[in-house]
């Protein structure tokens, strides 16, 4: 049975970093709807042109658009053993779509990273992404000029990590995505993790949570 993992949590909670690590450890694809949408914008595809303004504003793109992206991605052969989903679902409607897509044949583990709003704003203002290899880097101090430790590439700031957009994204999270916790909370495969810990400690807690839920996988959905 395939085991799909959802990384839940507000922007800046560490979903991307943890999802990439987890996917590498488990040898399954990392599926980030945000990355897919940013790639579409960068490549100038019709989809990219449709969603660029929405991404820049911090709002959510439509449930239909992301559902189509995820549906297509999950049908590829490399997703058969499971994927780590990062940034999807973000609304209750998307979570319902995911349940329908997986049916009863596949298990779903939900890992929710909890971080306080103050920490999120600080983290997002210091977050940089390597333009060459995509590694996510936390600057030690604002304004520090650094290069990627992995590949020496230039570090860039995501356009939606500017402070005014960050506040909108956190408001959107509270309004649209936080209700997902209620949708998932009763499931035995739902776990909350303290995302304020070091990345290594969070990764350890995530791995332990997934192992713990292994016993109940497939029986509560």
Residue closer to ligand AMP, measured from CB, 16 or 82: 16
Backbone angles phi, psi at 163, to 5 degrees: -55, -45
* 18 belongs to the binding site for ligand AMP (CB under 6 A): no
122 within 8 A of 163, measured Cβ to Cβ: no
Based on the residue annotation, tell me whether 71 is a catalytic residue of this protein.
no
Letters for 90-129 (x = contact with ligand AMP by CB under 6 A, - = none) are x---x-----------------------------------
Q: Where are the beta strands (DSSP E) in the chain?
A: 3-8, 30-32, 84-86, 107-114, 127-130, 136-138, 155-156, 190-194
Based on the residue annotation, tell me whether 162 is a catalytic residue of this protein.
no
Q: Kindly indicate which of the ranges 53-61, 76-84, 104-112, 147-155 contains the residues binding ligand AMP, using the contact rule CB under 6 A.
A: 53-61
Q: Which residues pair with 108 in a beta bridge?
A: 4
218's torsion region: left (phi>0), alpha (psi -120 to 50) or beta? left
How far, in Å, CA of 49 to CA of 34, rounded? 15
DSSP designation for 154: B
Active-site entry in 90, 123, 128, 191:
90
Based on the residue annotation, tell me whether 169 is a catalytic residue of this protein.
yes
Residue nearest to ligand AMP (CB): 34
* 132 belongs to the binding site for ligand AMP (CB under 6 A): no
Q: What is the set of active-site residues?
A: 15, 90, 127, 158, 169
Which residues make up the interface to ligand AMP (CB under 6 A)?
Answer: 11, 33-34, 37, 54-55, 58-61, 66, 87-88, 90, 94, 160, 169
């Amino acid at each position: 049975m395939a085991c799909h993992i959802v990384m839940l949590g507000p922007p800046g909670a560490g979903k991307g970093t943890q999802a990439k690590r987890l996917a590498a450890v488990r040898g399954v694809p990392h599926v980030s709807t945000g990355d897919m949408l940013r790639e579409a914008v960068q490549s100038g595809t019709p989809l990219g042109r449709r969603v660029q303004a929405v991404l820049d504003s911090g709002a959510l793109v439509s449930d239909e658009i992301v559902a189509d992206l995820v549906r297509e991605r999950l049908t590829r052969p490399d997703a058969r053993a499971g994927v780590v989903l990062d940034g999807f679902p973000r609304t209750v409607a998307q979570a319902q779509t995911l349940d329908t897509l997986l049916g009863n044949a596949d298990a779903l583990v939900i890992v929710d990273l909890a971080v306080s709003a103050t920490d999120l704003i600080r983290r997002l203002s210091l977050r940089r992404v390597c333009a060459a290899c995509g590694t996510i880097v936390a600057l030690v101090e604002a304004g520090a000029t650094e290069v990627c430790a992995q590949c020496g590439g230039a570090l860039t700031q995501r356009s939606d990590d500017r402070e005014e957009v960050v506040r909108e994204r956190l408001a959107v999270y509270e309004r649209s995505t936080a209700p997902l916790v209620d949708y998932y909370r009763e499931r035995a495969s739902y776990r909350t993790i303290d995302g304020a810990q070091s990345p290594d400690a969070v990764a350890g807690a995530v791995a332990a949570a997934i192992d713990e839920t292994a016993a109940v996988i497939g029986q509560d959905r």
